[in-house]
Chains A and B, each alone.
Chain A
Amino acid sequence: MPTIEHNGSSFEVDEDGFLLNGDDFNADWVDYVKGVEGISEMTDEHQKVIDALQEYYKKNGIAPMVRILSKTTGFPLKRIYELFPSGPGKGACKMAGLPKPTGCV
């Protein structure tokens, strides 16, 4: 599996660029994903989505359903796509260091 070096931190990722170990998550990871996911500037709104995802994952062991993410952050799905062009799964979960979404995706 490839390793990514960014700002002096190194991350083990899978072929789609998801963190293989959530503990590696840090500010450098967010900065790296920002570049690959086409996000020009990190805003408080981005941070709010990331925090909501991480909090839910820590508590429940799964990523929240899209409707729960919308409800807790107050952002409709459209806004989440504006923040993360790849969407809540490929974009936000990747940046939050959650495991890659599975199933028939």
Chain B
Amino acid sequence: MGYNPDKPMDGRISDLGPPHYEQFFPPVIKANKGKWLYHEIIQPGVLMHKSETGDEVYSIRVGSPRLVSIEYIREVCDIADKHCDGFLRFTTRNNIEFMVDSKDKVQPLLDTLASYGNSYPVGGTGAGVTNIVHTQGWVHCHTPATDASGVVKAVMDELFDYFTSHKLPAQVRIALACCLNMCGAVHASDIAILGVHRKPPMIDNERITGVCELPLAIASCPLGAVKPAKAEVNGKEIKSVKVNVDRCMFCGNCYTMCPAMPLADPEGDGIAILVGGKVSNSRTAPKFSKLVIPFLPNNTPRWPEVVEAIKKILEAYASDAKKYERVGEWAERIGWEKFFEKCDIPFTEKSIDDYRLAYDTWRTTTQFKYTSHIK
């Protein structure tokens, strides 16, 4: 029975939750669940897991643009039908994994993937650059300071060699968020691309009464820059807000709460680069990423400044870090002043924390290294 808009609750099914994942296990995964002995990365993008029953499963990981059409998904299904009995999975970084249960089936699958040109690049394993975790950008969101898909494409084009190889000291996780809501992994990634504003919100007094709950807009400000105020619209006094521009750091939280306070601006908006975060507990504790480049312009459609900056950081890290060392571990070992020197990034006052708990981030020791940044 189709949906009847006159009786919306009739025959309504709800609270089913997602289907149980075991329904979609390839037979070899189902049979060996919880029995895996070890795994190997045979080549970039191809893993082999060995079970105590002697079974093997080969996973072929391919990059995906995350934002995909139904046609693309159907094509992926066709590949899975042809080689993997109709089974496949997506990874937590939005790569696709095709799994086969014997080594003979790997090469034919790789050949099929290669026949689509660069649509299904095999890689994303080991010490390389895997897929970029990213957000909606100008495709769908209303608070972004930059685009997501466009920047990601530009960066991955430049770093494509690192996706299909294992030539870095450790895996490098790149993430992008198009505003500092930081949907996704930006705050804890080796290299993070973050959309930032540089202008305060504009207050639209004509709309604010109907669309805004003013106390929410006031409470949304982390710096107390939004204050209640009276305004005059068409000769009538209304309740509104005003922004203390000197206190505003352009986070955009008030716009999230109040649609009458937009702050997007083509010249003001752009991208900040953060580095050194990680989420794993291996060797060192998880870290937050830190701001190293405060602003790069939104230069559509290829963001050349952003791409260049990321490549420079990645190459400096690749040539200098020790094996297994993540970007943050490397920067902390050599000291951040050396990080700025080796990556050739000018240090600006924007990198000096000045928010509430800032004191702990300043240097309270005489231990430091002389660098080209201190002349």
Contacts and interface: CB of A to CB of B under 8 A. Distances in A.
B256 A63 contact: no
B211 A104 contact: no
B181 interface: yes
Given A102-B256, A102-B257, A104-B256, A38 B9 contact: yes
Interface string B1-43: 0000001110000000000000000000000000000000000
Contacts of B210: 19-22, 99
Interface in B197-219: 207, 209-216
A27 B370 CA distance: 74
Nearest to B209: A21
Contact of B211 (A14, A60, A61, A103): A14
B8 A99 contact: no
B304 interface: no
A30 B257 CA distance: 25
Nearest to B181: A104
Contact of B213 (A14, A38, A62, A104): A62
B192 interface: no
Contacts of A87: none
B9 A99 contact: no
B263 interface: no
Given A38-B8, A38-B9, A85-B9, A100 B215 contact: no
B258 interface: yes
B215 A60 contact: yes
Contact of B215 (A62, A98, A102): A62
A102 B9 contact: no
B258 A102 contact: yes
A36 to B, nearest CB: 9
Contacts of B211: 14, 20, 99-100
Contacts of A85: 8-9
Interface in A47-102: 57, 60-63, 85, 98-100, 102
A21 B257 CA distance: 18
A60 B259 CA distance: 19
B212 A99 contact: yes
Interface of A: 14, 19-22, 38, 57, 60-63, 85, 98-100, 102-104
Given A60-B215, A62-B214, A102-B212, 14 more contacts: A20-B207, A20-B210, A20-B211, A21-B210, A57-B213, A61-B213, A61-B239, A62-B215, A63-B213, A85-B8, A98-B213, A99-B211, A104-B181, A104-B256
Interface of B: 7-9, 181, 207, 209-216, 239, 256-259
